[in-house]
């Protein structure tokens, strides 16, 4: 859900998104930036950006919106017993979007 803050682990601080200004502007204008590094209040701050990712980008989708690329690891936050469930909304939305619809 837009504006929702998810607690999702990152593996390290080495991976970061970068692109030229034109590409960044196009991604932003097309609403293709779907995840950002942010603080607990949802503010995309420099302190919340662990790796210097451009525009605090943590994940984007392709033009059709059916391919997601992201740096954080939602698979590491899908079970409370393992330390958190911040990744569950991502997996649930994938399952819901993939479910067949009645004709």
Is 77 within a domain? Answer: yes
Q: State residue 48 phi and psi, 5-degree precision.
A: -85, -10
- Note the pLDDT of residue 102: 63
Query: pTM here?
Result: 0.83
Its domain, for residue 40, covers 21-98
Q: CA 59, CA 54: separation in Å to the nearest integer?
A: 11
| Structural element, H or E, at residue 35 | strand 33-36
Q: CA 103, CA 101: separation in Å to the nearest integer?
A: 6
Is 10 within a domain? Answer: no
Task: For the chain, 103 residues long, give each residue's pLDDT as a single digit of tens.
Answer: 788 898 888 887 777 899 999 999 999 999 999 999 999 999 999 999 999 999 999 999 999 998 999 999 888 888 888 888 888 988 888 888 888 776 6
Is 6 within a domain? Answer: no
């Amino acid at each position: 859900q837009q504006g929702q803050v998810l607690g999702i682990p990152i593996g390290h601080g080495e991976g970061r998104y970068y692109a030229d200004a034109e590409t960044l502007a196009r991604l932003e204008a097309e609403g293709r930036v779907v995840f950002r590094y942010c603080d607990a209040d949802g503010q995309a701050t420099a302190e919340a950006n662990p790796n210097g990712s451009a525009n605090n980008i943590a994940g984007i989708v392709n033009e059709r919106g059916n391919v997601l690329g992201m740096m954080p690891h939602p698979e590491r936050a899908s079970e409370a017993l393992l330390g958190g469930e911040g990744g569950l909304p991502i997996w649930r939305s994938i399952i819901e979007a993939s479910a067949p619809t009645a004709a």
